[in-house]
Structures are given as C-alpha cells and as structure tokens.
Amino acid sequence: MKNFIFKRPKTIRDAVKEYKKTQGSFYFAGGTDLICLMRDEIVKPEKIVDLKNMDELDNRILETENGLRIGALATMSDINNSPLIKKYLPFLADAALYHSSPGIRERATIGGNLCNASPACDMGTPLMVLNAVIITSKGSKERQIPIQKFFKGVKKSALKPGEILKEILIPEYKEVKGIFYKKSRIKMVDLAMVNMTILKKGAEFRVSIGACAPVPLRIKSAERILNRGGDMNDRLFKKIGKVCARNIKPIDDLRGTAEYRREIVTVMVARLLKQLTSGE
Ligand SMILES: Cc1cc2nc3c(=O)[nH]c(=O)nc-3n(C[C@H](O)[C@H](O)[C@H](O)COP(=O)(O)OP(=O)(O)OC[C@H]3O[C@@H](n4cnc5c(N)ncnc54)[C@H](O)[C@@H]3O)c2cc1C
C-alpha cells in the first residue's frame, strides 16, 4: 500500500479545506469500504481525512422537531441497538443487523454506507421507503438532498467534491410498519444478492428494491396499484411481485444471475406484502 498523508481535523470547515488542498483526498469514517479498496489498490489516496474527531459529526440518534435524526457516524451496531429505532423503525434495525458481521458492524457507519453508493447497500431500501433526507455540509452552508435523488449510479452519489454527509433525517418515522428482507449467497457476512423494504403507512404502500439496478429503486408502478386500495389478497400480491420483477434491471454477477434475482423479487415481494397486511 502506498504512503499517504493522514489528517484528523476538528471541524467540518477544516476537513473540507484539507480535502481540497490535496488532489486524491478521501474522507474516512469506519474505513470498511475504503481500506478494502486501498488494499486491492483500486484507490491510492494521497491523503486520508478522518471524520471521527469533530463535534459537528457524530453518531447520535435523536428525536427532533423535524423528525428522527441519525448522525453520519452512527454505526450499524448503534442503529441496531438504538431504543428509538427499535421502537419506531424495527425494519431499519433489522437492516443494520443483517449488515456484514459483528466486528464490521461496530465500525461501518451509515454515512459511509450511503456515500459508498453500492447498489446493494443495506441502508438504501429502508431509507428510500422512509423518504429520508440527507443533510450535507461543506462547512459554511448545509444542503438537503431527498434520498431518491441521492444515488446517481454504481458508486456515484449526489455529493459534490468535498461535501460531507452530516446526518440523515427521517421526517415520517411514526406510525409506519415495514419489513426488510435480504438474500445473500451465505448467511450474514456478504453483500446482498437482493435486498428490499416494503413499508405501510396507513393505507399507503411503498416498495424499494436494492442490488437489482445501478441504484436502490422505488417501484412506483407497484405502489400505484397497491395504493388504489381494494381487496388485499394473494392474487394481488403475486401480481405486484411480477410488476416489481419487470421494473428492475438486475445483472449476472458473482452473487447471482439476473434471472434468479427476478425470481427472488417475484416471490419475496408477494410474501412480504402478505406478512405486512396479515391481521388487518
Ligand atoms: C467483510 C465486509 C462485509 C460487508 N458487508 C456489507 C453488508 O452486508 N451490507 C452492506 O451494505 N455493506 C457491507 N460492507 C460494506 C461496508 O461495510 C459498508 O458500506 C459500510 O457501511 C461503509 O461505512 P464506513 O464507515 O466503513 O465507510 P468508509 O469505508 O469509511 O467510507 C466509504 C466511502 O464513503 C466516503 N465517506 C464516508 N463517510 C462519509 C461522510 N460522512 N461524508 C462524505 N463521504 C463519506 C468515504 O470517502 C468512502 O469513499 C461490507 C464490507 C466488508 C469489508
């Protein structure tokens, strides 16, 4: 591994300054993505700017007047263990629990998971159905990005050079019911072959599917059919499964074939909808 400069600034303003001063700078949170890329020499940073020594960036999960707020440095363990997340959004706690292995979950942050922008990121689909808002900073001013506009392609996000993901805001976190599902080649410790979250808020359904396109998707055509109302039955759920399978763009890769991914989506969307509506 090539030598690099290491900086640990105390403010976002200084972090952005350090980042901009040197071409080939990378921000560093938990390092669980970045270190692998450095080990494999896919990236060769000139400078690493560590984000973990600032008062302005933290791992706190709080109720605020604008919604539930999750600090960018919250780890998968913080999210899975948070009483607030367990109370209001247990499916988000599940997504954090199904992420990787216990050791990685202690380091991997939600900010890093989103900024890495893998199509399979486990925080993607729960936040997509929650219409989460990403709050970023460059030191002087903040920007709010709706999550549906955050993912731009494989490993591409809406962040501008030097911009830091500061926190995630979930305005609608009360009275929602959801289920997260993940299919991997092996149990735990692997990225998803398919992941998905289905949410129900009153009579409204939202469906998001990950690892089946360059970015996590909301399947609006399926949502429109569900949100027309009417009888919620197995026939409808199977139809929605098929609609979802038609509206993804999976590829063949080492984790599975496109055909198998479509099959999982067809079956699991129907199953999750049945589970979500049972007892109503
Ligand atoms: C063995 C193993 C298993 C894994 N399993 C899973 C899994 O099951 N599910 C899953 O989704 N992922 C998995 N991952 C990938 C990784 O753990 C996650 O994406 C993790 O959440 C990344 O967070 P981090 O804090 O480690 O990010 P880092 O590696 O520190 O950063 C990732 C990228 O985001 C940038 N970045 C980080 N924080 C910020 C910020 N606040 N603002 C701006 N840019 C930022 C960095 O510059 C870097 O480009 C796995 C990784 C490993 C090594």
pLDDT tens-digit map of 152-188: 999 999 999 999 999 999 999 999 999 999 999 877 6
DSSP letter for each residue of 33-54: THHHHHHTTS---SEEEE-TT-
Q: 97 pLDDT exceeds 90?
A: yes
Range of the domain at 124: 61-170
**Is residue 56 a part of any domain in this protein?**
no
Closest ligand 1 atom, CA of 72? 41
Mean pLDDT of the chain: 96
Region 74-87: mean pLDDT is 98
pTM: predicted TM-score of the whole model, two decimal places: 0.97
Whole-number Å distance, alpha carbon 117 to ligand 1 midpoint, is 9
26 & 111 share domain: no
List of residues 6+ apart from 146 with CB closer than 8 A: 131, 132, 133, 134
Atom number, ligand 1, closest to the C-alpha of residue 123: 11
Over 90: is that where the pLDDT of 200 sits? yes
Distance 104 CA to ligand 1 centre (A): 10
Asked if residue 120 has pLDDT above 80, the reply is yes
Q: Has residue 55 been placed in a domain?
A: no
Task: List all residues whose CB is within 6 A of at least one atom of ligand 1.
Answer: 26-34, 36, 51, 72, 99-100, 104, 107-109, 111-113, 115-116, 121-122, 159, 164-165, 189, 191
Measured by CA distance, the residue closest to atom 46 of ligand 1 is: 27
Report the domain count for the chain: 3
Residue 248 belongs to a domain with what CATH number?
3.30.390.50
Distance CA 199, CA 219 (A): 12
Residue 237 CA to ligand 1 centre (angstroms): 34
Q: What is the pLDDT of residue 160?
A: 97
For residues 123 and 201, membership in a common domain is answered with no
- Those residues whose C-beta lies under 8 Å from the C-beta of residue 223, and which sit 6 or more positions away, are 205, 206, 207
Mutation pick for ligand 1 pocket among 58, 115, 195 (CB with most ligand atoms within 8 Å) = 115
Tens digit of pLDDT for each residue in 39-63? 999 999 999 999 999 999 999 999 9
Using the predicted structure, report yes or no on whether residue 2 has a pLDDT greater than 90.
no
Q: Which protein residue's CA is at the shortest distance from atom 33 of ligand 1? A: 116
pLDDT digits (tens, 9 = 90+) for 124-158: 999 999 999 999 999 888 999 999 999 999 999 99
Q: Atom 53 in ligand 1: which residue has the minimum CA distance?
A: 32
Domain contains 217: yes
Instruction: Please state, in angstroms and rounded to a whole number, the distance separating the CA atoms of residues 269 and 207.
Output: 9
- Measured CA angle at 151 (ends 193, 95), to 5 deg: 45
pLDDT of residue 115: 98
* Backbone phi and psi for residue 63, each to the nearest 5 degrees, phi listed first: -90, 130
- The answer for residues whose C-beta is within 8 angstroms of residue 256's C-beta and 6 or more apart is 185, 193, 194, 264
pLDDT at 236: 97
Residue closest by Cα to atom 25 of ligand 1: 30
Residues 160, 80 share a domain: yes
What atom of ligand 1 comes closest to residue 110's alpha carbon? 21
Give the pLDDT mean for 237-259: 97
Distance between Cα 113 and ligand 1 center (Å): 4
Q: What's the DSSP call for residue 235? A: H
Ligand 1 mean position, distance from CA 204 (Å)? 32
C-alpha of residue 248 to centroid of ligand 1, in Å: 24
Question: Is there a single domain that holds both residue 184 and residue 247?
Answer: yes
Instruction: Collect all residues with Cβ–Cβ distance below 8 Å to 96 and sequence separation of at least 6.
Output: 76, 77, 79, 80, 85, 105, 122, 123
Q: With a cut of 90, say whether residue 279 has pLDDT above it.
A: no
Q: Say yes or no: 165 and 70 in one domain.
A: yes
Domain boundary among 121, 150, 170: 170
User: Is 230's pLDDT higher than 90?
Assistant: no
Nearest CA to ligand 1 atom 49: 116
CATH of the domain at 114: 3.30.465.10
